[in-house]
Structure 1
């Protein structure tokens, strides 16, 4: 894999989260999570397995159904979670390292 693959970009116009795969090895993928807000920007490195990528697909399916989800909750990577609320038109995205 020679090109960067963007797995998702979520934004409300002011703050946003981007998840990218940067490189692929035989058994792993290297990626990043970039969080940008009006107050600052943060970047987290990811080491992903093929199973992590499959789990991401399932998380996106739940997100498309407007269901709360967590990804990478039981790994050394930062956890990404989404939570829907009737008070907001977009989900609350949390990245916790």
Structure 2
């Protein structure tokens, strides 16, 4: 990653399963937005999809982390155009699972079981804080 690229989320386990949401830098041609990508990497399947990020989406990620800490499952970005991320705390394999759904472009859904450590939401709050520290000046105030 370059100096402007930062992970917003890194959900991974020691089985080789991961879902990463990375901020790549300023969104080209659009003031106040960030370019990002969602990357799925498992021993079975790998893929990536672009995702624009705005202050409101980062705020909704913080709210999603609150709900996850309270034991609720989340759907992040599911009502906006583009890929969505769902986190189910008790998936089909008796561990959390992350579902990435791209109905708009690839029409693909990937379900990834990830055995997350107990402190993963705190780690993700730190990642979010680092993104905001680095990019707050660029984000529109919305």
Q: Which residue of 1 aligns with 2:4?
A: 3
Report the TM-score, using the length of structure 1 for normalisation.
0.85
Which has the larger helix fraction? 2
Q: Secondary structure, in 3 states, of the residue corresponding to 1:54?
A: helix
RMSD between superposed Cα atoms in Å: 1.8
Which digits, 9 at most, give the CA deviation of each residue in 1:2-59, with x for residues without a partner? Answer: 5111111111322110011111353211100000111121001011221011111111
1:40 aligns with 2:45: yes
Q: Which residue of 1 aligns with 2:79?
A: 74
Which has the larger strand fraction? 1
Give the Å deviation of 1:61: 2.2
| Unaligned runs of at least 5 residues, structure 2 | 103-142
Report the TM-score, using the length of structure 2 for normalisation.
0.60
Q: Which residue of 1 aligns with 2:57?
A: 52
Matched residues in 2 for 1:12 and 1:91: separation?
11
Higher relative contact order (Cα pairs below 8 Å, separated by 6+ residues):
2
- Which of structures 1 and 2 has the bigger CA Rg? 2
Counterparts in 2 of 1:19-38, with a 5 A limit?
19-25=21-27, 26-38=31-43
